[in-house]
Amino acid sequence: MFKIGDFSKFSRVSIKMLRHYDEIGLLKPAQVDPFTNYRYYSADQLPRLNRIIALKDLGFSLEQIATLLDDALPASEIRGMLKLKRAEIATRVREEQTRLEQVEGRLRQIELEDGVPVYDVVLRKIAPQIVAGIRAVVKADSGDITAMFEEIEAYVARYNARETAPPLTIYHDADYRDDDIDVEIAVPVNAVIPATERVHIREVEAVATMACVVHKGDYISIAEAYTSLFGWIATHDYTISGALREVYLRFGADNVGYRLPDAYLTTTAGEFVTELQVPVSKEESK
Amino acid sequence: MFKIGDFSKFSRVSIKMLRHYDEIGLLKPAQVDPFTNYRYYSADQLPRLNRIIALKDLGFSLEQIATLLDDALPASEIRGMLKLKRAEIATRVREEQTRLEQVEGRLRQIELEDGVPVYDVVLRKIAPQIVAGIRAVVKADSGDITAMFEEIEAYVARYNARETAPPLTIYHDADYRDDDIDVEIAVPVNAVIPATERVHIREVEAVATMACVVHKGDYISIAEAYTSLFGWIATHDYTISGALREVYLRFGADNVGYRLPDAYLTTTAGEFVTELQVPVSKEESK
DNA sequence: CTTGACTCTACCATGATAGGAGACTGTAGA
DNA sequence: TCTACAGTCTCCTATCATGGTAGAGTCAAG
């Protein structure tokens, strides 16, 4: 019978941990002195502790190890758990590799721009959304877009179907152009309301990986945000894989029919907040 | 001014987390109602929150992010932190890949042996140790080894230099043989005592990666443990890179001069506990 | 019997995140 | 104006493996 200190030395498991394993029932001492509560371990327990360490090194939690050990469960189940674990680790490896690429991209970015970038690009998953929209070809800065938003908000307001979420613009052109922009404006709705020749109701599709950047200020200075966003996509080796979106988190307020809390609105152009979103994907080059 | 719920929706950061960021000073609301304690966020804060998310995605802790954001610290330092982070992630990737290989090895093992292996091999780092030892060429099972242990224990006992740690045998042959085994027996000492023609004092070297297996029972059945250990090394694609060691964690007691607590000794051969250790390394085959 | 090394329990801490309880506040509809 | 419900507040708890501390008790060697 070893006292906990000796057993700890042999097994290279800290005393703390042995006590912890006792507490959670993973490895109880062979014997406990009822008067002093001293734990006494037998040499027989080394193999079990060894198995625990082996499984721990494979990445199993102590709870899972308890399952794996306690029930003398069939080999097939153990194989199953191992395969699950394998998949899990493979996923983590991929995640960490992605993270590594992100960090490398950011380093490249700093070197290229010779300083810390002003905009922070975030990758996120975007959920689908039901919207009422109008799609048209317009000239840039012609005010058409503002007019279209007023129109669609008024339309949605008639059905009382406005969902409390920001409106957005979707740019369907694959390339950039100053004029004749194929643009869709959309406002979220909470019910499927009737469509018209001009107004359609559709689900704006989910995007698994969306590169997003938040721009604060008027729409003139938004070009910088675009530059940053596309620069980021280039330095991080992503490819654009869908239509660009502009989400108006905070925008001009002196309009009619807007069913949004005041918080979403402002009267100062300098206070506008816009999120630029571009679906991206990684070309597998390995 | 957005209430926390709206701000949470825009930023896709949970309310809980926003409150947490407030608490740790990472992102304080632009305004807090002194009567109700309601938090009010301004749109200006979205870029900062975005930067926080971006850095979090890179794997920085919230504390590190606070450092990165608060002090407007020079770009060079940020680059330094990023490089550190890159190294850290690279290490983790390697670790996870190793783990993955371990899991795969274990799966192979189960398939090969058609069941859960009886012995559990553990990889560990072994620290160096000062020992008194005798090296000789002996015949197996000749009792020479036992005699040598008695001799060395008696020698060490004379100097009162016995360290409370198990004795071990080191097999210096590269291959297996039944006879003429080049063997070194060693007992840990806590001081450098004089050597003799027969007894040497040396440091048993540290081993970075030691494949270890614990065998319980007499020395006849130890062959199974060896089979398992070498089987494991094969299925996990390791290569033996040093001399094999047998560490006697619990062994025959009716000898003289042993300065060890009784716990290390037993009179029943069935109670013997022996750890087999083989230094291994991975051939880089990528 | 003393002393020093060992062990006991009980508590606190990590770090990012989630859940709940119980109280209060804001807003929309009756 | 009242009510109901949704939103928000603070405070507490938990996760998971691990380490630390304090204060009390125990063991073994001299």
What is the full DSSP assignment across A173-189? -SS--SSSEEEEEEEEB
Task: Please state, in angstroms and rounded to a whole number, the distance separating the CA atoms of residues A123 and A9.
Answer: 47
List bases, strand C, within 7 Å of protein CB: 6-9, 15-19, 24-26
For C25, nearest residue by CA–C1' is B36
3-state secondary structure at position B250 = strand
- Residue B267 buriedness (CB in 10 A; 0-12 / 13-18 / 19+): exposed
Mean pLDDT of chain A: 85
pLDDT at B135: 93
Give pLDDT, residue B256. 44
Of all residues in chain B, the percent with pLDDT exceeding 70 is: 92
CB-CB under 8 Å, B123 with A58: no
Q: What is the pLDDT of residues A43-76, one digit of tens each?
A: 888 889 988 999 999 999 999 998 888 766 787 8
B 15-54 residues with CB < 8 A to A: 43-44, 46-47, 50-51, 53-54
Using a 10 angstrom Cβ sphere, with 0-12 exposed, 13-18 middle and 19 or more buried, the burial of residue B138 is middle
* Cβ count near A198 (within 10 Å): 13
Mean pLDDT, chain B, whole residue set: 85
Does the pLDDT at position A133 exceed 90? yes
B250 contacts in A (CB within 8 Å)?
43
Q: Give the distance, in angstroms, between the CA of residue A188 and the centroid of all CA atoms in the same chain.
A: 21
Enter the tokens of residue B53.
Answer: 């998310």
For residue B61, give the nucleotide whose C1' atom is nearest its CA. Answer: C15
**Is residue B182's pLDDT more than 60?**
yes
Are A264 and A188 spatial neighbours (Cβ–Cβ below 8 Å)?
A: no
Please tell me which residue lies nearest to nucleotide D20, judged from CA to C1': A16
The DSSP output letter for B189 is: B
**B252: pLDDT strictly greater than 90:** no
Around B271, how many Cα atoms within 13 Å sit in the side-chain half-sphere?
14
**For chain A, how long is the longest CA-to-CA vector?**
89
**What's the confidence (pLDDT) of residue B14?**
92
Question: In the predicted model, is pLDDT for residue B263 greater than 70?
Answer: no
pLDDT band at A256 (very low <50, low <70, confident <90, very high): very low
> For strand D, which nucleotides have at least one atom less than 7 Å from a protein CB?
7-10, 16-20, 25-27, 29
**Least Cα separation, residue B193 to chain A (angstroms):** 24
Using the CB atom, is residue A3 less than 7 Å from strand C?
yes
pLDDT category at A198 given cuts 50, 70, 90 is: very high
The Cα–Cα gap between B52 and B102 comes to 36
Tokens of A276: 């630029």
Contact B79/A at CB under 8 A: yes
Residues 39-78 of B with CB under 7 A from strand C: 56, 61-63
Average pLDDT (B71-88) is 85
